[in-house]
Amino acid sequence: MSQIFTIENDKVVITKLALSNLEGDIIHHGQLDLTGPVNITGTLTVDTLKVKNLETTSSLNTKFGEWAVNDEADLLGKGLSWTWGNGSVQLGYRSGNRLWSNSDFDIEQDRTYKIDNTTVLSQTELGAQVVKSRLREIGILRNLEVSGNSALGQFAFFNASLGRLGINTENPNGTFGLVDGNVEFVVSANKDSVLELGTYTNHDFNVITDNTTRLTVKNNGQVIFGNAQTNNAVVKIYGTLEVDTVVADTRIDRYNPLEFKTSRDRAIYGLGMIWTGTGGMRQLIMQAGPDRLWTTESFDLAEDRSYHINGVSVLSSVGLGSNVTQSNLSKLGTLEILNVDGEATFMSKINASRAVINARIIEFNDGEDFSITNSKLAAASKLSFTVAGDETYYADINEIAIGNKQNNRRPVKVFGPLSVGINNPDPTVDFSVKGDISFSDKKFTTGISAPTAGTFNKGDICWNSNPISSSYVGWICVQAGETGTWAPFGLIG
């Protein structure tokens, strides 16, 4: 017969052991390999359990990634969990048909987020189907397209239906209209498809360079080159000058203006300067309806020159003048600064990845009418705050809720005295309540005697509101029911 066991130090060593029944608590140290079925009627506690197949006799389907239950409440928290050291990441189910995670979702660079197989977000842009947002900040705009009327800063008014831009006017009298004081400058094309440029009002029109008037068109039709102060205007004509009457002191120098006069047979309209000989005819002539100078060519100034109105620059090679406050621009380049003093309507998305928006009032209208000012948040029907995917505050006409019933272990802290239903609470107490309270499902009320009306539960307390000697501190309900059964407590000595 071979040796059954040996004793080594404080251990009994058995090479082979067959047992029919084993009772009591068992603690095993080291690796335990089981090659056959193991039936455990109690609890098996292990640090790590590795199985190839797991079968259960309960109704729960434990196939990886599938959860089959009878009630949605049984799904709460079910999902995946990754744990390391003191950190963990969860991806689990929460009420309302939603998955919740405390981790970011990171996908490859050329992948996108989709809804119903339609891209809604990529690394560089929102999907074409995303047409609404509550963005409060946009970055540098490379393109800004506005479909419809718009106004910027109450100085630039875009009329999409008429195709007009007004600066300091909502009703420009041309394709481009600029109002400064009582003067309106317009650029437009008349019914004969002729470009019109000048003052629409009864004012003179000056063309200036170096902040000096070089050309003046008077409101009576008189055209003046130069000015009396500098007296250095030189008009060069490389071609033919055709006029009805020329009045000059000499053929080289002039000390009086070149004047086009009316006669009984003809008006001044159609008179001016014409260049021929190379290509088509070039013209700078007077036209009517309204009186204006018309030209077939562009005006080209030196690089450091600009267009001025009333001594103020309105257009240079790099920008509009500071007094130009209206336009019908439909497209802008990259804006470094965009100040809007008034309403601005954006028909498409606004990207503001690096910008800061400063506003006195911000209004949102997506069916709920919500606005933000420097002192309050205002909502027409309801207001809620969501933090880390949980609604932490909700208010409407019927209720105000603080916290979230799905995460009711989150502390709500109040620093300072708290009162309920009291306008002027006692400042020496930390908590004041006007009426009855409930504590741990026990009701606390007051009265001069035990309650004789209402429904009460066992353990509810009525405190004596008129304590006197030989009476009681209060009464406690010892049997639940209609009015309840009450017993006094706390004899006042």
Answer whether 148's CB lies under 8 Å from 159's CB.
Answer: no
Give yes or no: residues 425 and 308 share one domain. Answer: no
User: Alpha-carbon distance 307 to 319, whole Å?
Assistant: 11
Is the residue at 270 inside a domain?
A: yes
pLDDT in tens, 113-160: 999 999 989 988 888 888 888 887 888 878 877 778 887 777 888 888
Residues 197 and 309 in one domain: yes
Looking at residue 339, its pLDDT comes to 76
pLDDT beyond 80 at 7: no
For residue 366, report the phi and psi dihedrals to the nearest 5 degrees: -115, 25
**Domain presence at residue 279:** yes
- How far apart CA 363 and CA 378 sit, in angstroms, is 9
User: What pLDDT score was predicted for residue 50?
Assistant: 66
Pick 151 or 107 by higher pLDDT. Answer: 107
Count structural domains, the chain: 2
Domain boundary pick from 283, 316, 349:
316
Amino acid, res. 323: N
CA distance 237 to 227: 19
Q: Are residues 180 and 312 in the same domain?
A: yes
In a domain, 3, yes or no: no
Judgement on whether residues 307 and 182 belong to the same structural domain of the protein: yes
pLDDT greater than 70 at residue 263: yes
DSSP state for residue 150 in the 8-state scheme: E
In a domain, 468, yes or no: yes
At 190, which amino acid appears? N
SS3 for 73? Answer: helix
* In-domain check, residue 394: no
Any domain includes 327: no
Work out the pLDDT band at 59, boundaries 50, 70, 90.
very low
* Cα distances (angstroms) measured from residue 174 to each of 189, 200, 315, 405: 8, 9, 18, 62
Query: What's residue 249's pLDDT?
Result: 52
- Rounded to whole angstroms, the Cα distance separating 271 from 293 reads 10
| Nearest C-alpha neighbor of 344 from the set 363, 367, 369 | 363
Q: Both 307 and 424 in a single domain?
A: no
**Mean pLDDT of all residues belonging to the chain:** 83
Dihedral sign from CA coordinates of 32, 37, 41, 43:
positive
Same domain, yes or no: 170 and 308 = yes
Verdict on whether the full-model pTM lies above 0.75:
no
Checking if the pLDDT of 92 tops 60, the result is yes
- Taking the C-alpha atoms of residue 487 and residue 465, their distance in angstroms, rounded to an integer, is 16
> For residue 451, what are the domain limits?
420-491
Q: Which long-range contacts (CB under 8 A, 24 or more apart) does 132-138 make?
A: 132/366, 133/349, 133/350, 134/364, 134/366, 135/349, 135/350, 135/351, 135/352, 136/352, 136/357, 136/362, 137/352, 137/353, 137/355, 137/356, 137/357, 138/350, 138/351, 138/352, 138/353, 138/355, 138/357
Rounded Cα distance, 387 and 25, in Å: 47
Residue 325 lies in a domain: no
Q: Does residue 60 surpass a pLDDT of 50?
A: no
Of 299, 316, 333, the domain-final residue? 316
CA atoms within 13 A on the CB side of 176: 13
What angle is formed at CA 103 by the lines to CA 99 and CA 104, rounded to 5 degrees? Answer: 95
pLDDT in tens, 294-338: 999 998 888 889 989 888 998 888 888 888 888 888 888 777 777
What pLDDT digit, counting tens, does each position of 429-465 carry? 988 888 889 888 999 999 999 999 999 999 999 999 9
% residues pLDDT > 70 (the chain): 88
Over residues 62-82, the mean pLDDT reads 80
Q: Which of 272, 289, 316 is the last residue of a domain?
A: 316
308 and 424 inside one domain? no
Alpha-carbon distance 114 to 109, whole Å? Answer: 14
Asked if residue 9 is part of any domain, the answer here is no
Question: Distance between terminal CA atoms of the chain?
Answer: 89
